[in-house]
Structure 1
Amino acid sequence: MKIALGSDHGGFHLKEMIKRYLEERGIGYRDFGTNSTESVDYPEFGMKVAEAVVSGEYDRGIVCCGTGIGISISANKVPGVRCAVVSDTYSAQMSREHNNANILALGERVVGAGLALKIVEVWLETEFAGGRHERRVNQIGDIEKKYKG
């Protein structure tokens, strides 16, 4: 599995912790930035990760900002992305099983480090259930097509 990572300044420390977590487990990743706590704009990094995932170069993505909200909104603007803001392990599991979320968004100022890493673990280990959920995920894709122009 290959993971695309990105954050703004508000999620930088959490992204760095996630990198260490992935390294310890031998999971490949690429860090799309940012590389410090200097103020930057989250849409740039949400888009970079989203494009990397949609291209197929990376299997999934993880993005972080202060709350996870802004960077997730940005990532979700890229057609084919299903980015879920998650702050508990049950939602992490359901975002994969039912929604086939391909990007996970976390808020450094919202979720503590231990919980965040447990969320990442559950999210990475959970597979899409398919079945009736596949029909619904396909309907999301149909909505994207309708508004793509």
Structure 2
Amino acid sequence: MIAVSFDHRGVILRDAVFAAIAAEEHQALDLGVATDAVRVDYPDKALELGMAIRRGEADRGVLVCGSGVGASIAASKIPGIRAAICHDAYSAHQGVEHDDMNVLCLGSEIVGGELAQELVRTFLRARFIGGGRYADRLEKVAELERMADG
């Protein structure tokens, strides 16, 4: 299950993101929005998506705002969420393989529909390598989260 959410600017990529998820034979948990008629702030959508992942309702997520920057900043504040903005295929797979990224953030004003689909497909196909230095680094990230709580 892939949680998917957009703010009012990110909704431009809605059809492209859902098409890519369906093409990879994943199910999507649609957390909205479906229109740009009303302003919806990216921190609200980041929280909703991040909590869906934390509750186990989804394994990963795709979060889209205008630039992707705000979405990635907000989502990464949620413990256990490793979100990153990716506008190239290398980052979309390497972020999962090396860093166990679980939320792909996109900027609707930066990438078009075709590139968005490529990035979502690449993100969904990637798997965390695990072990060795990758696991050690992930533990350091978890320690940062614990330090921030204390």
Category of TM-score, reference length = shorter chain:
over 0.9
- Name the structure 2 match of 1:109: 109
8 Å CA contact 2:3, 2:58 repeated in 1: yes
Distance in 1 (CA, whole Å) between partners of 2:24 and 2:104 is 18
Unaligned runs of 5+ residues in structure 2 are none
- Name the structure 2 match of 1:8: 7
Post-superposition offset of 1:15: 2.4
**TM-score between both structures, scaled by the size of structure 2:** 0.94
**Residues 125, 25 of structure 1: CA spacing in aligned structure 2 closer, same or farther, 3 A cutoff?**
closer
Moved over 6 A (4+): none
Coordinate RMSD, CA, aligned: 1.1
- Name the structure 2 match of 1:27: 26
TM-superposition CA deviations, 1:99-147 (whole Å, max 9, x none) = 0000000001001211111111111001001121011011101100011
TM-superposition CA deviations, 1:17-39 (whole Å, max 9, x none) = 21122234431111111221122
Distance in 2 (CA, whole Å) between partners of 1:120 and 1:25 is 9
TM-superposition CA deviations, 1:31-58 (whole Å, max 9, x none) = 1112211222111001100111122221
- Same amino acid, percent of matched pairs: 36
SS of the residue aligned with 1:30? strand
SS of the residue aligned with 2:110? coil
SS of the residue aligned with 2:101? coil
Aligned residues: 148
- Whether 1:94 and 2:91 are equivalent positions in the alignment is no
Greater Cα offset, 36-45 or 21-30: 21-30
Unaligned runs of 5+ residues in structure 1 are none
